[in-house]
Structure 1
Amino acid sequence: MALAVVLTAEPMNALDGSVVYTALPSIQADTGSSAAALQRIHAAYALTFALGLATGGRLGDLYGRTRAFLLGTGVFTAASLLCGLAADPGLR
């Protein structure tokens, strides 16, 4: 079961990273972002991922891996929706 979860989660991570990198030029064109703002967006994504990975692992140990995985998926979905609705890079 753990293998199935890992094999499901890893492609989600790769896909999400690809989406972020692919979307940066569109974000720049749509919002008029500077190169520095795009770097901050990229850094914020990487930092959030790293912090979520460590925290999610600990929460999985405490409250159960399935519950932590489902909670993480829900938080990721909500955060992605909010980022998609942001009007400028300061809100992303």
Structure 2
Amino acid sequence: MLIRKLCSLCLVGGFILISACGATPPEEEVAPEPAKTNVVMIIVDDLNDWVGAMGGHPDTKTPNMDRLADEGTLFMNAHATAALCGPSRASVMT
């Protein structure tokens, strides 16, 4: 009789142990990451206003530049840091 109770107790305890080991902890709610802003900065040496997005020459075909300008922000009042291309380029790289 004692052996039967002991076996039953071990069997029930084993089932409880197995079911507890298989349980997964509750998942924590993860806050969604904020959308990252895409930034494309195009720097060109000796660029004139012939690019289509800047109201340039009618024969100039720049569909990708035009699409980027239409979907984003276009700075129409940009200035160079120096009158010569070498120092101006160096100031952008540093």
Interval of TM-score (by shorter of Structure 1 and Structure 2)? under 0.3
Bigger share in helix: 1
- Larger Cα Rg: Structure 1 or Structure 2? 2
TM-score (norm 2): 0.24
TM-score (norm 1): 0.24
Q: Which structure carries more relative contact order (alpha carbon 8 Å, separation 6+)? A: 1
